[in-house]
Chain A
């Protein structure tokens, strides 16, 4: 993919370096997570919405009073924790992927345009980008949630509206470097217009960076979405979402620790997998890119 070989000391592969191996564990966790999200209706042992006051606060199977009917116990309304966690993966996966795709497409476009045209266009776009970067995401999402009511769409919009700025910054920096190189000048001499240079010459050369950023940010978005659901500004109940499950368990943690504990553990696992995969991709594809 990389047409340009930038001189880079850190890029030299070091023999026997750990990061060169495929991150099998991360990839397996992500694959399992995607499968669970897709097959949630088939995999869950119970209906995630079904309440049963008789079965409230059943502990996980290995504790006293626990049973195989509810392997991870039940919550305040007697709903099966395992089924809710399985279904909750749909919200997290969808939020992570959709948000990052929107934000990266928009941010990359802004970065490409700013870097290509430079001058006043660049200055204006970058000021907007900087202003956006310094706005606290959660504050905006909270405001939006009370404005139009909490919903999946609003969560995605609130996060994407801020997140694009990071892509714009990084991609613009890369384009500035690329613009100095001969092949761009040659393309322009050969008569290529702005659209052609941007889509055919600049975009392919920033794809590696984009892939790394996208992977690293899916984990971040999953955490932000969970934080919002936790604050009551995310996915409204009774839809199972990991963040709101943790919030529901917060008040009862002294009598039923499992209600908060397991959803958090699953978030940790999935986000960890995405972050490790992103780190590996960065070391492999784009070692110059710093942690954002």
Chain B
């Protein structure tokens, strides 16, 4: 029975892939990318073999704890990265809970993330190959650590599905990821000073983690290598107790899930009237804009593309060496403009087959395109400009403002244009409506990376004139070039936008049925 269930998992994976050859290519490329990362990790662990025990201990315990914490908590929040074999669907078959526990654990280990984790964990055996006893301890720690990670992911998923598997609960869980991510920016600013001395506290963090369920397993071989057997024994006990507790909790959650399959939560929230449909003009374009903006507010998949916005200042701040170089912050405006204006190039793919309504009603392609652009522009333009002015104010580089305004306005307008054409022609493997925004279809992540690269390159070429003028102004210090870039950015951008919307609209009018067929295949 265990073998049957494990085979089922792989059958589901391969049958899913068979639907699209591109997906297979994307999976292979994604796998290669993973291999490179894995090779780097193992090489690093091998190098650590020559390092002092203390340093090796800090690195291994921190990385191992991160792996277990990541495995345990991320899948719940993302509604399960690997739910290929859903226990709820097996509820009708006479499979005992114990069989299910073993089968799901094995198929977890044999999945791509499971294999990668196992191989990387085996790298620690190299790190600890200092004496036979340490090697033995490392092998034991790998087995316990990997199993804890995989069982941990299943356990919390099984328990969380009891809390609520209705739509609202799922979306609430998504918010739990999004809110900390949004707060991350300000948090980084606040703790950045502390982080400067972070290098000093890392060993302390590792020491503490070694006594917790997440790091205990990884600390065992380190203490064996250091000759502290009493401490190693205690940590081994903690690690084993963690694994046993995780399995017991998981088993209990699975049992509950099989007995009382989750039911959709009853509807509670209600919204009177026609909402934004009463705010925008009562035309097809206005209706599309109202619908799109409603989705920006209600659909977690759109919220996901918004979370990157506050991260931009944070990352640039990091880059600038925690405030040593504030000038780099002025690029916040242009970068945010790129992210926002390109965020709708998968818009029709997000619609999924609901796009059929646009086709049924015979709405003109141009109206469809303008509506989506207007909904985005309503907040993208003010957000980009506010961030731009704020970044200039913080870094006190007002002399750069004209050039930055030219670049940012050019990027926004040209980005809308590129998105309008691309989303009318191509569909992408994005999460379906109601699915977790973090769930990626096999290969979907990689093909999105490729298409992002392609569309951003096109955008880069289209904004070259205003970019060149602005850079000339920055280099020469002559503000005239900067002021010139504003009319060029606005003028060229407007021409591109009108052209992009028209071309995109014409493509939609001509190829609407083909686009719908593409969406249906992707469903």
Does A associate with B in a complex?
Answer: no
